[in-house]
Amino acid sequence: MTQRKIIHVDCDCFYAAIEMRDDPRLAGKPLAVGGSAERRGVIATCNYEARAYGVRSAMSSRHAVKLCPDLTIVKPRMDAYKEASREIQGIFREYTDLIEPLSLDEAYLDVSDCPHFSGSATRIAQDIRRKVSKRLHITVSAGVAPNKFLAKIASDWRKPDGLFVITPAQIEDFVAALPVTKLHGVGKVTADKLARLGIDSCLELREWTKLALVREFGSFGERLYSLARGIDERVVQNDSRRQSISVENTYEADLPDLASCLGKLPELMQTLAERIGRIDSSYRPGKPFVKVKFHDFTQTTLEQAGAGRDLESYQQLLGQAFARGGKPVRLLGIGVRLLDLRGAHEQLELFNDG
């Protein structure tokens, strides 16, 4: 079996990088992209100067300004970011068609069969970074490894503007020293449980049998057993299709009760209907869902198979979702899950046409 060669490419503070590129006056100053602090906005991303003050993505803009009074916050320009993302994807396609985008600024590439540079994944990654820098005037970091799990860790190892390579011969020692918090799928709850069991590193995790880990963590225990040994068999999937379509809105003032939330539904439904009208015939709208984020940033999502997509159905869903918190609401979202009508053969044709 041929050794897989995976590259994980991650743009450095992507939105902020595009803003600094397009307006050089912003460079070198603490900068964030997001909503206004006066309008209850949230930070989407920020540059490294802002991160030095503790500013982070998903933080409220108001709190970010408290941490960094000199912070400049600019509104997102999604069209500019999508255009840059398309250009970067075009560079990827110069080397391989096996591309799995995770977001606008991040993707896995399988270059196992790429003929460029005599098949050297390291040199391919170097060339991708060079081309992005030259053509788009932003930087990307890259990780090269035999699987997705390690490639993603490697891309973060020398950020920003870095390249890190983990060869097959290095996996054993590299993974042994990894904190378990670096493992794919290990969130705060699992990390806390591992810590209580005295497991802080992958070397310590290796002392546990697969059966013992399954007893403690269910099916995820098997995954932990593999990751602690640097094993990840997930393939790069280039057939990613839309799972849902939705619309959401963050309100300047909290919606105090259910009635005020219900009053926002018609406007949200009109926007959703316009978006559904733009999808192609390879999708069929499925079950509806609603998303409610309360004033304390807790949130809930509720969906129902068999329900209609009319106003009454969304009203019922929203009523049930609101009851889960019963608190003032800062964000409302509605949407539908999408049924993909294309078969695997048609999916291949779709991507080969591109």
Q: What residues are designated binding site for Mg(2+)?
A: 10, 105
| DSSP per-residue letters across 147-209 | SHHHHHHHHTTT-SS-EEE--GGGHHHHHHTSBGGGSTT--HHHHHHHHHTT--BHHHHTTS-
106 is catalytic: yes
Contact status, residue 344 vs residue 280, Cβ threshold 8 Å: no
Phi/psi at 288 (5° precision):
-80, 160
> Which of 318, 294, 324, 284 lies closest to 304 in space, CA to CA?
318
Residue positions forming the annotated binding site: 10, 105
Supply the angle between the helices 78-92 and 121-136 in degrees, to the nearest 10.
Answer: 140
d(C-alpha 354, C-alpha 350), whole Å: 7
| DSSP per-residue letters across 287-354 | EEEEEEEETTS-EEEEE-TT--SSHHHHHHHHHHHHHTT-S-EEEEEEEEEEEE---HHHHHHHHHH-
Q: Is 69 exposed, middle or buried (0-12, 13-18, 19+ CB in 10 A)?
A: exposed
Q: Is 172 exposed, middle or buried (0-12, 13-18, 19+ CB in 10 A)?
A: exposed
Q: What are the start-end ranges of the H helices in 93-137?
A: 121-136
- CB neighbourhood size of 317 (10 A): 22
Which residue out of 94, 100, 106, 204 is catalytically annotated? 106
Element (H, E) at 100: strand 99-103
d(C-alpha 306, C-alpha 170), whole Å: 51
Calculated CA dihedral for residues 319, 325, 329, 333, nearest 10 degrees: -60
Residues that are catalytic: 106
